[in-house]
Amino acid sequence: MAQTETQGPVPRQRQTCKVCGCADKFDFHVPDATWQSVVPREFQNLVVCLECFDNFALERQVDYADAIDILYFAGDRAVFKFQTVSAQNV
Q: What are the structural domain ranges in the chain?
A: 21-83
pLDDT of 31 reads: 95
Considering only residues 85 and 24, tell me which one the structure prediction assigns the higher pLDDT. Answer: 24
pLDDT (tens digit per residue) in 53-79 = 999 999 999 999 899 988 999 888 999
Q: What is the pTM of this model?
A: 0.78
The neighbouring-strand residues paired with 82 are 71
Could you report the per-residue pLDDT of 27-49, keeping only the tens digit for each? 999 999 999 999 999 999 999 99
Give the DSSP per-residue string, the chain: -EEETTTEEEPPPPPB-TTT--B--EEE---HHHHHHHS-GGGTTS---HHHHHHHHHHHT---TTT-SEEEEE-SS-EEEEE-S-----
